[in-house]
Amino acid sequence: MSKVLDLTVDEVIDYCATSECGAAVHFGQPVWKIGRDLFCSSGCLLKGLGATKVTAGEEVGQENECNV
């Protein structure tokens, strides 16, 4: 039988790929995926992509603000 069918709902299968987060990812949990990396939230996904929040036209010198 497949290992996937043997997993329980509370079983941790991986961890969020964002190093600052590292939250446990449980079987059946909705996540964002890039390649083999799993991200527990859209905020972590954006941080993993290196996206930054800026005001259009005023982005010079603005800090990265990620509300994970």
pLDDT tens for each residue of 5-57: 665 668 999 999 999 999 999 999 999 999 999 999 999 999 999 998 889 98
The pLDDT of residue 27 is: 93
4 pLDDT more than 70: no
pLDDT at 65 over 90: no
**24 phi, psi to nearest 5 deg:** -65, 140
Of the candidates 27, 22, 45, the one whose C-alpha atom is nearest the C-alpha of residue 35 is: 45
Q: SS3 sequence, the chain? A: CCHHHHCCCCCEEEECCCCCCCCEEECCCCCEEECCEEECCHHHHHHHHCCCCCCCCCCCCCCCCCCC
Of 65, 7, 62, 17, the C-alpha closest to 40 is 17
